[in-house]
Structure 1
């Protein structure tokens, strides 16, 4: 699927789900219930535990020692403090930024926005962006990391058990026609490890502190 198609489908699906207000039964049993808004932001306080958080136009802030099920936004960012647990988070236009000891049992995804965490994140699902950087420090990631037009930085002793993937970009309209000359970059620190492959579907600037990471690179362009 092309980038333009992916972005359009993602936006449509996110808007449809949020407008419907349909969520899992498990989320309904959360002590503080669900949050479902078309306009307006949401603040989850320390020690508060919500079900699904769904916003169309608004941001989410989660204080330390809080939790939620699915956090799903269309236009807005997700700001998360230390020691927070969620099932998954996604936003179309906005960033996902988390503090220390962030635990995610599912996936993280953005279309237009970065994903970054501080020390000791634990993420069970995939991490995906289209137009956004991905930054992890001392994190444990069980599945794949992928982007189209973003940079990826794996710092500290981050471990990626899956693959790191730079997907094929769509073309952008320039004055002289269709082109996309922006080259993303991948930085892997000396103590960071990718256990799977580094799959490049486009040219990428590679910066490996450990030259052994070069053996993981698979070019598909």
Structure 2
């Protein structure tokens, strides 16, 4: 099978550091139904989680694994704080095991040659990128593989926002965002800074991405409605 590096929106999908602005108060994430879909319709089965290498200080293997499962379940269950409900049939499962597979993502934020495995790991990324997802397509435009990497380049990750300060970022929010890309969602073009999970950026100590906004839920329903 031929693999290509054609990506949704013609670029690597990455979540970057954001700055708080007054616009983010102008529109509730529960009122913003914005979403973007990536090309094709793929139903991934197994996501191989490399929790054995390059874990950041303070992030235990078991913690990373539980965050991954919880974040995938947010998409599967449509978990939100907006009182919205959708019938979903979201595919995929997390396989932690003792895998040492590496995501096919370079230190310069580019997608390398596909190997047919959907891998999630930690590793160095460039600039202000917190997490990055690569998707590979066949020559006919069918998505066949997705890899995700979370940054370890002088990055401060937290798993609880209690006492969070400085340039620290909520790992679970970033994980949930990147899994949205794996499941076929692009970056949302928001209406006035509503801070959706699929926003292209996130502010420090912001845990809102742990659950879905209206646009996130609508997008996953269009892609994987049950």
Same fold (TM over 0.5): no
More strand by proportion, 1 or 2?
1
* Alignment TM class, shorter chain as reference: under 0.3
**Bigger radius of gyration among the two:** 1
TM-score (norm. length: structure 2): 0.24
TM-score (norm. length: structure 1): 0.24
The one of the two structures with greater contact order (alpha-carbon pairs below 8 A, sep at least 6) is 2
